[in-house]
Structures are given as structure tokens and as C-alpha cells.
């Protein structure tokens, strides 16, 4: 998500949520923004592998109706956290509760409440799609008509009807991912935890999966780990960024974008070769602190940063539009920016590509 166009900026509550100190983020529990009863509650969750701390005393909660985007660079602790919350990896310290069930003390009760799509969507490759989903239905204690209805519903939702009799090993990466998604939603769980749910899907398939998540969101608490920042803006009601095992930001996508240096900036794209002249004219406008110029072939994009926060709104856009009309510029695009999530992400995360997340 390179450019964010003007949207709702976070209020005081949002700024408080995303500007908390590291110690608050590490062990405190942030309440679900949806305001409902938390269905996932994590407090002081920690995982150590020898001397290495992969997840460091994190705490947050997710309420019914929320879609939480769980973001972080490779090695930040995302997959490790999801494995602990789903009961596949024991925490070194701290607690995770799912629908009131402690994931360590009442593992099976908690897991019955969860639909889990792990990284890579593992499945038995020699089974057909139908055979695998029938097996999952039995694991979930579904039988007879109840199992048939659950399988039919999951197949319809993930558009797998055409590959039901094919062995999973013969399917494309995108279809295997959809089989993994189908098994996660088969028993209609109140909590969905998905690691890269659109990985390997083509643009049309991604669109359909996002629509499916949107339809399910009202009745579930959903956590999505993703590297696709545009996905956060498209389907998530809240985003949490983790770096080096600790939470560094938590808020709605709009609240996080309000931390971007591009928040309230104005972007203008012009055709033709008027770069130097246009830059001088734009700098003459009142309230402009600086301008970035980015030529791209026959077009040039100017990003204008206001001198004071909050001034890059319709007044500045109107001033730029008036100047463009007076100068008879070829305007290709003009809009106020909400902020850029990718820029916020890069600034808040420091792990880089050097670390490797523990499995």
C-alpha cells in the first residue's frame, strides 16, 4: 500500500492507543476496538528458545467483530505468537485465553473454538480435496448430514467444487491455500487465526477471499498475519505491528497512517515537462514546508508537506487546484494523503531481513 488517500484520521483515543510506551505494549492488554467481549485475551505471552527471546511479554485482546492485522518483518515473532495462541507451541511464560479457555490448561477446549490456517497450509497430499475435508469434519466431531452441510458450505465459500476429486498434491499453490482455508472455516468457529490467507492467490482469488473474510467478520474474532499492507487497509479494522518480539504499534489502519510523514500531505501529478517551473510555483504557496519531486517518464509527481500538522486538507488541495488552472498544467492526479502505512511500518520495525523467526 504505497499511497494512502485522504481518510479518517485517528482521534485522541487512537493516538493514545498507538503512542503507549514499550513497557505498556509489552505486558498490557489492549482492549478490542469493537467494544465487545474479548474472544482472545493474551497477557505477558513470552517464548524463549535458549538465550533467544522470540516473543517478549506481549499482551492484546481481540473482540467479536474485529479483524486484526498482525504485522511485522520476517523474524519479528508473528508465526511464533500464532502457534502459541493456537496451542501448537507452549509459551515460556504468560497466558492466552480463547473464548475463556486457557490454551495451556484447557488446550482442546480452546482449540475447538479456533479455525487455524497455518503458514504453508499443510495438508495430506495423497488425499483428494473431498477426502481431506471429510477427514477434518471427523476430527471436528461432525458426522452425517451435519458434516455434509459443513463441507458443502466450506467448498462453496472457497470455490473448490471443481477440484474435489483431485489429490491435493496435484493442485496449484493457490488451490492448496483455499483447501487450507476451507478446513479452517469448516466447523464455523468463533475465532479464526490465519497466517498469510491470500498467499499464492491470484488477484481475483484474493478479492474473493477478502470478501469472505468481510462476510464472516461480524460473528467472529479474526486475526490475520500478512505481509501485504494493502490487505490491512482493505479488510482489517485494526492493525498491530510487532518487531523483535515486542508490540510497537496498535490502532486502526487510519490511526497508524496518521503517524506517517505523508499524513495530510498533498500529491499532485502533472503531465509534460514542467518540473522546475512547477516546483517553483508550488513553493510559493502559503503554508508549504517542503516539496518532494518524483519524475516518472512523461509525468512528475509533487508531494507537498504542510508547515503545520492538520493543514494539508481541502484548503491546500483547493489552492493547488487553483494554481494548476491558472498555469494551465496537465493535471493527472490531485489528492490529499491519509498517510502511507508502508512508511510507518519501515520506521517502526528494525529487525530487517537478517533475523530468522523461530518455528
Same CATH fold assignment for domains 12-259 and 266-336: no
C-alpha cell at 227: 505481509
Helix (H, G, I), strand (E, B) or coil at 347: helix
Q: Which residues contact 52 (CB under 8 A, 6 or more apart)?
A: 358
CA distance 345 to 348: 5
- 78-104 tens-digit pLDDT: 999 999 999 999 999 999 999 999 999
Going from N- to C-terminal start, the domains of the chain cover 12-259, 266-336
Q: Mean pLDDT, to the nearest integer, of 271-294?
A: 88
Judge residue 13's burial from the number of C-beta atoms within 10 Å of its C-beta, 0-12 exposed, 13-18 middle, 19 or more buried: exposed
Strands of the chain, DSSP E: 38-49, 52-63, 67-71, 93-98, 101-102, 114-117, 191-195, 221-225, 238-243, 246-251, 266-271, 288-296, 299-306, 330-336
pLDDT at site 313: 58
Based on the number of CB atoms within 10 Å of its own CB, is 189 exposed (0-12), middle (13-18) or buried (19 or more)?
buried
Torsion angle, alpha carbons of 330, 333, 336, 338, to 10: -160
pLDDT bin (cut points 50, 70, 90) of residue 359 is very low
Superfamily in which the 12-259 domain is placed by CATH: P-loop containing nucleotide triphosphate hydrolases (3.40.50.300)
Please give the pLDDT value at position 199. Answer: 80
Angle at 281 between CA 276 and CA 287, to 5 degrees: 125
The string of pLDDT tens digits covering residues 244-281 is 999 999 999 999 999 999 999 999 999 987 788 899 99
Per CATH, the number for 266-336 is: 3.30.70.260
Burial code (b: 16+ CB inside 10 Å, e: under 16) for 256-288 equals bbbbbebbbbbbbbbeeeeeeebeebbeebeeb
Q: Is 117 helix (H, G, I), strand (E, B) or coil?
A: strand
pLDDT score, position 16? 40
Grid cell, residue 125, equals 497430499
Amino acid at each position: 500500500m504505497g499511497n494512502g488517500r485522504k481518510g479518517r484520521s485517528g482521534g485522541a483515543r487512537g493516538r493514545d492507543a498507538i503512542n503507549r510506551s514499550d513497557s505498556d505494549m509489552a505486558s498490557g492488554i489492549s482492549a478490542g476496538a469493537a467494544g465487545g467481549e474479548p474472544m482472545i485475551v493474551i497477557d505477558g505471552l513470552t517464548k524463549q528458545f535458549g538465550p533467544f527471546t522470540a516473543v517478549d511479554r506481549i499482551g492484546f485482546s481481540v473482540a467479536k467483530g474485529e479483524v486484526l492485522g498482525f504485522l511485522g518483518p520476517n523474524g519479528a515473532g508473528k508465526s511464533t505468537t500464532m502457534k502459541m495462541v493456537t496451542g501448537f507451541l507452549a509459551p515460556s511464560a504468560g497466558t492466552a485465553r480463547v473464548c475463556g479457555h486457557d490454551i495451556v490448561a484447557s488446550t482442546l477446549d480452546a482449540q475447538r473454538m479456533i479455525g487455524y490456517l497455518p503458514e504453508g497450509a499443510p495438508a495430506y497430499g495423497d488425499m483428494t480435496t473431498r477426502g481431506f475435508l471429510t477427514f477434518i469434519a471427523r476430527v471436528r466431531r461432525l458426522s452425517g448430514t451435519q458434516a455434509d452441510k459443513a463441507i458443502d458450505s466450506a467448498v462453496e465459500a472457497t470455490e473448490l467444487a471443481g477440484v474435489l476429486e483431485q489429490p491435493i498434491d496435484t493442485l496449484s499453490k493457490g488451490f492448496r491455500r483455499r483447501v487450507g482455508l476451507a478446513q479452517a472455516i469448516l466447523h464455523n468457529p468463533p475465532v479464526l487465526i490465519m497466517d498469510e490467507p491470500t498467499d499464492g492467490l491470484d488477484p481475483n482469488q484474493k478479492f474473493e477471499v477478502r470478501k469472505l473474510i468481510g462476510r464472516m467478520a461480524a460473528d467472529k474474532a479474526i486475526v490475520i498475519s500478512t505481509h501485504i499492507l494493502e490487505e490491512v487497509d482493505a479488510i482489517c479494522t485494526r492493525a498491530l505491528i510487532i518487531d523483535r518480539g515486542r508490540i510497537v504499534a496498535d490502532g486502526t489502519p487510519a490511526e497508524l497512517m496518521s503517524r506517517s510523514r505523508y499524513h495530510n500531505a498533498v500529491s499532485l501529478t502533472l503531465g509534460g515537462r514542467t518540473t522546475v517551473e512547477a516546483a517553483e510555483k508550488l513553493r510559493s504557496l502559503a503554508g508549504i514546508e517542503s516539496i518532494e519531486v518524483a519524475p516518472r517518464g512523461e509525468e512528475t509527481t509533487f508531494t507537498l508537506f504542510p508547515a503545520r500538522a492538520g493543514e494539508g486538507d481541502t484548503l491546500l488541495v483547493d489552492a493547488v487546484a487553483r494554481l494548476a488552472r491558472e498555469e494551465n498544467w496537465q493535471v493527472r492526479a490531485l489528492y490529499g494523503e491519509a498517510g502511507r502505512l508502508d512508511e510507518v511500518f519501515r520506521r517502526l520495525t528494525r529487525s530487517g531481513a537478517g533475523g530468522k523467526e523461530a518455528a
